[in-house]
Amino acid sequence: MIFFVAVVAQFLPEGHSVLGATLLLGAVDAVIAAGWLLLVVVCAGRLLRRLRRPRVHRTPERTTGGG
DSSP line for 8-61: HGGGPPTTS-HHHHHHHHHHHHHHHHHHHHHHHHHHHHHHHHHHTSHHHHHHHH
What is the value of pTM for the model shown?
A: 0.69
Please report which confidence band the pLDDT of residue 9 belongs to, taking 50, 70 and 90 as the band edges.
Answer: confident
Q: Is residue 12 within 8 Å of residue 22, measured between CB atoms? A: yes
Task: Give the tens place of pLDDT for each residue, 10-51.
Answer: 888 888 898 999 899 999 999 999 999 999 999 999 999 998
- Quote the Cα angle for 22-23-25, to 5°: 65
How many angstroms from the chain centroid is the CA of residue 38?
A: 7
